[in-house]
Amino acid sequence: MDGMKQLFSPLTLQIPATVAPSSPQPEKLDFSSRLIMPPMCMYQAAPTGVDQGNPNDFHLAHYGARAQSVAAVIVEATGVVPEGRISNQCLSLGRDDQVPAFARLAHAIHAGGAKAGIQLNHSGRKGAGRPGAELVESARAWNPNYPQQVSEAELSWPLVAPSAVRFSEDYAVPQELTEAQIDEIVEAFGAAARRAADAGFDFVQVHGAHGYLLSSFLSPAANQRTDQYGGSLENRARFLLRVVERVGQYLPVAVRISAVDWQAEGQPGFNLADAQKVAVWLAEHGVFMVNVSTGGNLADAQIPAGPGYQVFAAAAVRQALQEAGFAGVPVSAVGIITSAAQAETVLVSGQADLVEVGRPLLVDPLLGARWRHELGAPPALPPSYVRARF
């Protein structure tokens, strides 16, 4: 079993120097293993009132428990402004008075033994823009504590996008962002990163995947602009790279990308060659880790979901980074990785440097400890749990 331990070997992630950082940056982050928890929306934040967008007791219990068996926890998609939330039950970090609530969450993750990351996002054309009654019905299915009285304005908001192209018939037609509005959102990402730093988070993951705002700019399926943010891949990536630079002034930056849109033949979309180029540009702009997903820009995409179905994309991005001289920028794989042996194989075969496991952690907060046992790796249980048996 000695060869079956790479998943639980430590990894030091080097933090590139940023241009004119606004706060001191660490030179490295030490991960205790290669197993990390990816962001997963929980839809449990208050949709209204003074606690709108804040993490609460649910989030403390949820993330604190899972921090005990992984190297890093990345908190779910957090809107950089309230209208950047995916739903009105999602987290947001658009106000300075929210820092104490997020500090409690970062502390809970650290107390569990993991590094604390937070995914900063703007939902773009995939935000809460559907009819109010439909939103309330969906919200109450997720959260039994959802308020009884919620105004239409608190339920949804105007959607924005690179172009006035809606995601699907279930969503409103978005407003095309002006260049001035793009500038404002770049600053909103920076301000949210500053708050995350003040709250004690170790790093930010910028959400450039799954068809949300930054991802939609990358894809010609959503981006039909003719200015400096549209047309060529370099132009379509400009918004994302500006956000990375701004966020990097406050915290180390990882980025999640969707490496392919899964578009049909002849249909416009973001492809693997595009993803490889963007990953190299991200590394050139100081990103310390690339997290590789797929899909999200096309509502009708035919995605061949199955065990490890996105690992090929991580492997391709990793190869591109190595060939460009960025072998020190690790790549994580995600997507229906459900066993210790499968996760270990992804690493041993050189397809990725880290593995993200989401849904299995939802049913087993100590999944990492179980997988250590299965692989014959040294146990690493919290002191109070050393009497546990598998």
According to DSSP, the residues that pair with 291 across neighbouring strands are 256, 332
The vertex-257 CA angle with 27 and 351, nearest 5°, equals 75
Q: Which of 124, 122, 66 is nearest to 94 (CA)?
A: 122
245, 254, 255, 281 from 241: Cα distances, Å:
6, 12, 10, 8
146 assigned to active site: no
What is the full DSSP assignment across 273-298? HHHHHHHHHHHHTT-SEEEEE---S-
* List 63, 212, 229, 250, catalytic entry: 212
Residues in the chain: 390
Distance between CA atoms of residues 122 and 81, nearest Å = 8
**What is the CA 109 to chain-centroid distance, rounded?**
16
In whole angstroms, give the CA distance from residue 35 to residue 32.
9
Count CB atoms within 10 A of the CB of residue 212.
27
Active site residues: 212
